[in-house]
Amino acid sequence: MDSGDTAFVLLACALVMLMTPGLALFYGGLVRSKNVLATMLQSFICLGVVSILWVVCGYSLAFGPDRWGLIGGLDWALLRSVGLDPGPYAATIPHLLFSAFQLMFAIITPALITGAFAERMKFSGFLLFTVLWTLLVYFPVCHWVWGGGWLGKLGALDFAGGTVIHINSGAAALACALVVGKRRGYRKEPFQPHNLPLTVLGAGLLWFGWFGFNAGSALAAGMVATLAFFNTQVAAGAAAVAWVTVEWIKIGKPTMLGAASGAVAGLVAVTPAAGFVSPMAAMWIGLVAGGVCYGAVMAKEKLNYDDALDVVGIHGVGGLWGALATGLFASTASNTAGADGLFYGNATQLLVQALGALAAIVYSFALSWILLKVTGVVTGLRVPDDEEVQGLDLSQHSETGYKL
């Protein structure tokens, strides 16, 4: 047991927890004022719902003793045998602390999906879908990569969640946008963010918390954490500049929303690579992410699906680029962990990264589609048209965000 590592991961754990309220602010500012509280609640309530699932069976399913490479057993259900001594995943911190750190990842992943169906989904349907999705999609995919499952054994690299969190949530978000359907009046009336300063505050909290997200994934205060910390900053900054530059060329003006969106895209893209690549590689990952994710968001209009807050374009596409970029730029010369990528003589790593991404996309999209259909039968998915016009704050929660 190392007190320094324990203190470091405790702090990182708190930073990652802060990302979920940060996401609530980020999303809340992007919707219309009549839906701000409903949108924020969908993120915030995940702090409670997923925590309960995690204690009851989630940690065991995700990280418990492997069963067939697909899922963890129930040996650690109700956190049995998960105590204050070091566990199998980190030798210098308490097993319970490792579980707490991973819980924060499990919380924010379904919260990310909510941006795809913002302003139109019933709260009861959201709750049921979140419970089912977390149990049947997040926990298995997490086990595949980090818990001793088949992708981890194959050698897939995912330092802090490019595949487990961002590709996984992005594929689910696409299914949600298609199954739930477009917002009433989509492309016929303006859907402008009602409070961009709120969104910028949320983006700042996400950026701040992301240092815990990525550096904390080293699970020790040392060289790898330092590398991941620095790479996080470089990639986010580069992506913000790239997004604003492309936007400036395309529409003639740079925007604050573009800078915030670009920063988040860079953070997403560097997540799987943060502890495996050099700072120069992180800069390139961020620069490409800014341009590619901007293009993906613009393509949404041509593809005619209503991903309200661009979860697919930023988290899905950004996570996919990050997973593949890890297979390109990973270098044992730059860090003390991982394997070499294509640019350092190991083409196999890129193939493994692509396979892992494809597996997560197909599984998450297909299961999400099925779970949405089940939810639609049990609770219904969408609010009635008159409640959507009124706004979800009043119709679903009998409250308003602003009293002016």
The angle subtended at Cα 356 by Cα 352 and Cα 360, nearest 5°, is 170
Length in residues, the chain: 404
Q: At what angle do helices 347-378 and 168-180 cross, to 10 degrees?
A: 40
CATH number of this structure's domain 3-381, picked from the four choices 3.40.140.10, 1.10.3430.10, 3.10.20.740, 3.30.499.10: 1.10.3430.10
Contact of 270 with 231, CB cutoff 8 Å: yes
Low-confidence residues of the chain, pLDDT below 50?
none
Domain residue limits, the chain: 3-381
Q: What is the pLDDT of residue 308?
A: 96
Residue 245 CA to residue 290 CA, distance in Å, equals 9
> For the segment 248-270, what is each residue's pLDDT rounded down to a tens digit?
999 999 999 999 999 999 999 99
Q: What is the pLDDT of residue 337?
A: 66
Q: What is the pLDDT of residue 292?
A: 98
Q: What is the pLDDT of residue 394?
A: 97
Contact of 138 with 109, CB cutoff 8 Å: yes
Residue 296 CA to residue 265 CA, distance in Å, equals 11
pTM: 0.97
Q: What is the pLDDT of residue 188?
A: 87
> For the segment 12-61, what is each residue's pLDDT rounded down to a tens digit?
999 999 999 999 999 999 999 999 999 999 999 999 999 999 999 999 99
